[in-house]
């Protein structure tokens, strides 16, 4: 058996999967990335009969220092009956002969992050060295990752999880989901700033020797539940492959026929998983980057210039309100295979606020990716149009995907069959969806009353977990300065 190795995007030290997962981020600040991508034989997997079995097959290719029994245990605990409200973890809706919606929000927190974050705690527990007492999981969230991570790690032995979110940069439902989180090992704080402030704060703590030594002396080690951890990224590869197999099984495509995926994009992890699926051999034509007006990634795909020196906008798709997309670093490494070059890009981004890739690198990126953005008004119009044309309710992030896809069609006239990823249940953003459908009629409505009104006006049932949020007590009221993040962590792990 060939051992899968992982390497930092900024260095040359190779590790196996367990070390990559429990460390989360490399000591040099780089992201662990597979040294090689295992090829897939479609003929061997096209008859796999369940999502869980496909996940086991894919995980075995990447987690070669896990036993097959360990992998099966992780998958069974994560995707067992009752965790997700659909038979195969995700669901595919056919909107037209050439357009499909991949629903990734059927998990316990109603966001695509559940697909990975139900698995990660079990992968982490099986990866942890015995000499550490506990894992301390740090998470920066633009909305959905926080709740999904809290729910995944809630009351998991040998773990404590601390989540930081921008206090004014998430939806009311997202904030209430996090601040009402139960669990003896869960801690949450709002940050005075935006998501990039929270994310850079977490990264600084991860690589600060004083912070590392302090928590190690307390018997902890740092790790991440963000998509900078390859253990988060791996489960996301599976649903791209599963989508292709489902379309094949339903005779919507022929074997070997290429398809497009449209991915609402913030931190670049979700779409990077699609790129890895393509490298494995899934016939993907284009991965379409759908950004909101914080369009730094879409602009990069078009020009090769990554420039965060721009105004930051708060939008109705807040999980994509990001100017520093961490997983782009992995793409750059997979394209260039040059850690020194990647290190230089990242240093330029940190010190100058921008970097530009060489023409040949951009050309290779554009062979697989296409990108554009959607304004808030265009997003609202997209919500209304999709509901009017297909009777299908979408959240603002997914609506960004549909809007950018319409721009792609106009510019390219590409008739390739296309799957648009649905990243959140529309009821997580009920007020914005309601106002998009009914032209601002409910601008002054309470966000939780909007859930009830949206149900009545669309006859689409809201999840019980969202309907019940209003009655839950606030357990995590803290809002702090970015500079106080490590102090907050120490206070919580000492007292609990």
The model's pLDDT over 336-383, given as tens digits with 9 standing for 90+, comes to 999 999 999 999 999 999 999 999 999 999 999 999 999 999 999 999
Q: Give the pLDDT of residue 204.
A: 92
State yes or no: pLDDT of 143 exceeds 90. Answer: no
Judge contact between 296 and 308, C-beta under 8 A.
Answer: yes
Per-residue pLDDT reduced to its tens digit, 226-237: 888 999 999 999
| pTM listed for this prediction | 0.94
Structural domain contains residue 426 = yes
For the segment 191-216, the average pLDDT, to the nearest whole number, is: 92
| Residue 382 domain flag | yes
- 3-class secondary structure per residue, 396-458: HHHHHHHHHHHHHHHHHCCCCCEEEEECECHHHHHHHHHHHHCCCCCCCCCHHHHHHHHHHHH
Q: What is the tally of structural domains in the chain?
A: 1
User: Is 109's pLDDT higher than 80?
Assistant: yes
Domain-located, residue 176: no
Residue 473 pLDDT greater than 90, yes or no: yes
Q: What is the model's pLDDT at position 169?
A: 86
* Residue 103 placed within a domain: yes
The catalytic residue positions are 113
Give the residue from 184, 352, 362, 195 showing the smallest Cα distance to 266: 195
Q: Which among 95, 49, 60, 56 has a CA at the least distance from the CA of 79?
A: 56
pLDDT at 106 > cutoff 70: yes
Give the C-alpha separation, 362 to 130, whole Å: 44
Average pLDDT, rounded, for the chain:
95
pLDDT band at 1 (very low <50, low <70, confident <90, very high): low
Q: What percent of the chain has pLDDT over 90?
A: 89
| Nearest CA-CA partner of 218 in 170, 167, 172, 160 | 160
Strands (E), 79-129: 91-96, 99-103
- Give me the mean pLDDT over the 146-173 stretch: 94
Q: Which residue bears the tokens 């601040």?
A: 179
At 431, is the pLDDT very low, low, confident or very high (cuts 50, 70, 90)?
A: very high
Three-class DSSP category at 254: coil
Region label for 21, one of left (φ > 0), alpha (ψ between -120 and 50) or beta (otherwise):
alpha
Instruction: Say if 429 falls within a structural domain.
Output: yes
Q: Would residue 21 count as lying in a domain?
A: no
Rounded to an integer, the average pLDDT of 158-183 is 94
Output the CA angle 210-212-216, nearest 5 degrees. 120
Q: What would you measure as the largest C-alpha separation in the chain, in angstroms?
A: 62
Chain segment 47-60, per-residue pLDDT in tens: 999 999 999 999 99
Tell me the two tokens of residue 323: 């100017």
- Tokens for 329? 């670093």
Residue 268 lies inside a defined structural domain of this protein: yes
Strand partners, 224: 138
Count Cβ atoms within 10 A of the Cβ of residue 490 and give its class: 0-12 exposed, 13-18 middle, 19 or more buried: middle
User: What is the predicted pLDDT for the residue at 80?
Assistant: 82
The pLDDT > 70 percentage for the chain reads 100
The CATH number of whichever domain residue 457 belongs to comes to: 3.40.50.1100
Q: How many CB atoms lie within 10 A of CB 170?
A: 25
How far apart are alpha carbons 178 and 191 in whole angstroms?
A: 13
Encoded tokens for 276: 């890895």
| Average pLDDT of the residues in 171-190 | 96
Backbone angles phi, psi at 290, to 5 degrees: -110, 105
Q: How far apart are CA 460 and CA 458, in angstroms?
A: 5
Residue 444 forms part of a structural domain: yes
Residue 328's domain comprises: 91-109+231-471
Going by pLDDT thresholds of 50, 70 and 90, the confidence category of residue 174 is very high
What band does 2 get if pLDDT is binned at 50, 70 and 90? confident
């Amino acid at each position: 058996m060939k051992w899968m190795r992982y390497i930092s995007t900024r260095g040359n030290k190779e590790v196996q999967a367990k070390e990559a997962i429990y460390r989360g981020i490399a000591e040099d600040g780089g992201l662990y990335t597979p040294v090689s991508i295992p090829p897939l034989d479609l003929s061997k997997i096209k008859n796999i009969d369940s999502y869980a079995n496909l996940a086991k097959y894919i995980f075995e290719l990447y987690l070669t220092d896990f036993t097959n029994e360990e992998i099966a245990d992780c998958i069974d605990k994560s995707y067992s009956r009752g965790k997700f409200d659909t038979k195969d973890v995700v669901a595919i809706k056919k909107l037209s002969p050439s357009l499909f919606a991949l629903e990734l929000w059927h998990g316990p927190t109603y966001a695509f992050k559940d697909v990975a974050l139900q698995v990660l705690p079990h992968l982490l527990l099986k990866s942890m060295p015995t000499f550490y007492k506990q894992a301390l999981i740090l998470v920066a969230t633009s909305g959905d990752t926080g709740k999904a991570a809290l729910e995944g790690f809630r009351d998991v032995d040998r773990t404590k999880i601390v989540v930081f979110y921008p206090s004014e940069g998430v939806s009311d439902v997202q904030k209430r989901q996090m601040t009402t989180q139960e669990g003896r090992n869960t801690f949450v704080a709002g940050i005075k700033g935006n998501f990039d402030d929270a994310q850079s704060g977490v990264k600084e703590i991860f690589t600060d020797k004083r912070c590392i030594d302090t928590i190690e002396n307390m018997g902890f080690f740092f790790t991440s539940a963000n998509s900078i951890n390859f253990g988060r990224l791996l489960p996301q590869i599976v649903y791209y492959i599963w989508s292709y197999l489902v379309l094949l099984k339903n005779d919507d495509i022929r074997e070997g026929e290429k398809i497009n995926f449209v991915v609402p994009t913030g931190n670049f992890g979700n779409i990077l998983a699609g790129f890895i699926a393509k490298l494995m051999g899934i016939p993907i034509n284009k991965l379409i980057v759908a950004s909101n007006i914080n369009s730094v990634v879409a602009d990069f795909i078009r020009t090769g210039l990554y420039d965060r020196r721009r105004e930051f906008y708060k939008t109705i798709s807040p999980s994509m309100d990001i100017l520093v997309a961490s997983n782009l670093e992995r793409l750059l490494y997979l394209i260039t295979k040059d850690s020194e070059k990647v290190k230089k890009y990242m240093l330029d981004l940190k010190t100058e606020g921008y970097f530009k890739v060489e023409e040949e690198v951009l050309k290779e990126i554009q062979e697989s990716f296409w990108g554009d953005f959607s304004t808030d008004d265009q997003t609202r119009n997209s919500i209304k149009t999709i509901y009017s044309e297909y009777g299908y309710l979408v959240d603002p992030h997914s609506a960004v995907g549909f809007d950018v896809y319409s721009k792609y069609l106009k510019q390219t006239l590409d008739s390739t069959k296309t799957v648009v990823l649905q990243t959140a249940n529309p009821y997580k953003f009920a007020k914005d969806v309601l106002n998009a459908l009914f032209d601002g009629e409910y601008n002054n409505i309470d966000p939780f009353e909007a859930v009830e009104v949206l149900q009545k006006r669309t006859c689409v049932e809201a999840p019980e977990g969202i309907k019940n949020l209003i009655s839950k007590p606030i357990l995590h009221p803290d809002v702090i300065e970015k500079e106080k993040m490590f102090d907050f962590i120490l206070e919580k792990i000492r007292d609990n």
